[in-house]
Amino acid sequence: MPEICGWVQCRTALGDPGLTSDPRLAGLAPMQPNNLLFMDGEPHRQLRALVTPYFTRQRLDGLADQLGTTCAEALGTALADPGADLMVDLVEPIVLSAILSAMAVPAANRQRLGTLSRDMLGLLEPDLAAPARRRTINAAMRAILLFERDRRRGEASGLHADLERAAAAGLISAKLARSTPVVVLHGGYENPLNQLGCLTAYAVREPGRFKYAAASAPALLFEEVLRTFSPVRTLARWATDNGDGGQRRRRRGDLMWISLESANHDSDRFPVAEEMDLSQRRQHVGFGHGPHACLGTALARLEGRALIGALASVPDTTLREFSTTWRNGVVAHGPERILRR
Amino acid sequence: MAEIAREIDAAVLDGIREAAIRVKGPAVAGGEITPATGLWSSETPGASSLYLDSLDLLELVVFIEDEYGWTIAEDQIDAAAWQTVGDLATVLTAAARSQSTGPGG
């Protein structure tokens, strides 16, 4: 299915103005979608600029201690449970704590939004079965309703409140102010869930190598896990023009799948592509590239740092008690469970 | 009892009509709205519809909540099950009845 493959081709495609995230610009929709992920150009830049301040390194550094505590508590609970699933008992609590705190979601909504985030898992997959599609869409609508009710009560806070202020000032539409918190919540849940899941899967599969890397180059370990596992596999773009589409000619309106996985495994750039190389910092496209590069990169790295530190303290024999089953989607893949055998 | 039920049914339909005009404007929602009117965009030529998107629907639900006090539990939201004004009216009517009789009523 991916039509654009390879390091150079994918990086070029992700910066190509002839490929858009907005189906309207490709002649496929009458209106601009009310979704940050499916916008482009100035409206996209403007909305992104409102979200970005919540995900800067400087702002997120204040979350480091909280994530460390969440991580240590969750790990302690998981290791005491003979039936533990490290995805549910360790990774998810870190991810939810991080994204809900980063967005400054009020405490009263956190538990419900956590459940709804779980129900949104797979929202962007193009081939979900009907019941799963219904579950993800309903969860997204229910989450939007929670934010909308907060607004009507005058209780919007954090990122949501800033977006509502921007809408009141005419900078963005009211619909974007309502939908964007849920788009950010979904992205800030599903992407790091897969990223941290891959990291944990590596730790339980190869505890010795994991610990060596955790001790010697923890930041590189996280980046190389993203490159080799490539939890975000593909991104969709639509052609706005007729022209060169990389490996084939494209026509306006064509859907083009860009394979981040192929870019991260391109043997012309990474000679032993499947192997981690901790000797140097290498680029990858695990966070995407170009105008839509992941907004939550700094948060994901912070979460990864906390998790690496916690997992490095677990004895090898304990880590080896766990085994991983995988969830493979067209857009993303990651561990479904990391269960104690 | 039957009279009260009919009044609630009529009030709910009026509430949906008012909310739809508020959300979509009189040009789209100012015509006749019946239980058979579709909620979403329809590909059937000439089909009566409010042409809502999911955000319009949520705005409509919250407007009715504020104006009439009929609150739909958040976990009742089901975009696939709600295809017509009648589907939405059924859920709102249940909310209106339970909220008019109160707990245990």
CATH number of the domain within which A73 lies = 1.10.630.10
Query: Quick check: helix, strand or coil at residue A249?
Result: strand
pLDDT in tens, A72-113: 999 999 999 999 999 999 999 999 999 999 999 999 999 999
- Tell which residue, A88, A92, A322, has the closest CA to residue A205: A322
d(CA A334, CA A320) in angstroms, rounded, equals 19
Q: Do A144 and B54 touch (CB under 8 A)?
A: yes
Local confidence band at A247 (pLDDT 50, 70, 90 cut-offs) = low
R_g over Cα of chain B: 14
Q: Which residues contact B56 (CB under 8 A, 6 or more apart)?
A: B23, B24, B50
Tell me the pTM.
Answer: 0.94
**pLDDT on residue B101:** 62
Question: Looking at residue B41, what is its pLDDT?
Answer: 80
State the pLDDT at residue B104.
44
Give me the percent of chain A exceeding a pLDDT of 70.
Answer: 98
Burial of A131 per CB tally in 10 Å (0-12, 13-18, 19+): exposed
B16-75 residues touching A, CB cutoff 8 A = 53-55, 57-59, 61-62, 65-66, 74-75
Say if the Cβ atoms of A141 and B62 lie within 8 Å: no
Spell out the residues 6+ positions from residue B23 whose beta carbon is closer than 8 angstroms to its own.
B29, B52, B56, B59, B60, B63
Cβ-nearest to A134 among B65, B75, B80: B80
Q: Phi, psi at residue A232, to the nearest 5°?
A: -90, 115
Helices of type H across A15-63: 41-51, 57-60
CA A166 to the chain's CA centroid: 25
Q: Look at residue B4 in the predicted model and tell me its pLDDT.
A: 67
| Residue A44 domain boundaries | 37-233+294-340
Q: What pLDDT is attached to residue B62?
A: 93
Q: Which residues pair with B52 in a beta bridge?
A: B40
Tokens representing B68 are 């009439």
Contact indicator for A178, A276 with CB cutoff of 8 Å:
no
Locate the chain B residue with the closest alpha carbon to A34: B55
Polymer length of chain A: 341
Of B55, B66, B80, the CB nearest to A179: B55
Per-residue pLDDT reduced to its tens digit, A23-65: 999 999 988 899 999 999 999 999 999 999 999 999 999 999 9
User: Residue A204 domain-assigned?
Assistant: yes
Domain total in chain A: 1
**Residue B61, SS3 per DSSP:** helix
Nearest to A178 among B55, B61, B66 (CB): B55
Asked whether residue A286 is assigned to any structural domain, the reply reads no
Q: Where are the domains of chain B?
A: 2-101
Minimal CA separation from B53 to chain A, in Å? 10
ipTM: 0.87
Mean pLDDT in each 10-residue stretch from start to end of chain B (105 residues)? 71 90 81 88 76 93 92 93 94 84 50
Predicted confidence at residue B105, as pLDDT, reads 42
Spatial CA neighbour of B16 closest among B57, B54, B73: B57
B53 contacts on A by Cβ (under 8 Å): 34
Q: What CA–CA distance (Å, rounded) separates A240 from A18?
A: 5
B53–A144 C-beta distance less than 8 A: no
| Contacts with B40 (C-beta within 8 Å, 6 or more apart), sequence order | B49, B50, B51, B52, B53, B83
Amino acid A341: pLDDT: 84
Give Rg (Cα) of chain A. Answer: 20
CA dihedral A176, A182, A186, A189 (to 10 degrees): 130
Distance between CA A283 and CA A285 in Å, rounded? 7
> Which residue does chain B place closest to A137, by CA atoms?
B79
Residue A79, CB-side half-sphere exposure with 13 Å CA sphere: 17
d(CA A19, CA A16): 6
Residue in the block written with tokens 């590239």: A289
CB A113 within 8 A of CB A185: yes
Residue A138 belongs to some domain of the structure: yes
Rounded to the nearest angstrom, the minimum Cα separation between B95 and chain A is 17
Average pLDDT over residues A282-292: 95
Contacts of A309 (CB under 8 A, 6+ apart): A68, A71, A214, A218
pLDDT at residue B1, rounded to an integer: 58
State pLDDT tens for residues A169-193: 999 999 999 999 999 999 999 999 9
Residue A223 — very low, low, confident or very high, per pLDDT cuts 50/70/90? very high
pLDDT for res B10: 82
Question: Which chain A positions have a beta carbon within 8 Å of B58's beta carbon?
Answer: 141, 144-145, 148, 178
φ, ψ (nearest 5 deg) of residue B84 = -130, 165
Report the percentage of chain B scoring pLDDT > 70.
84
Of the CATH numbers 1.10.10, 2.30.30, 1.10.1200, 3.40.1000, which one belongs to the domain with range B2-101? 1.10.1200
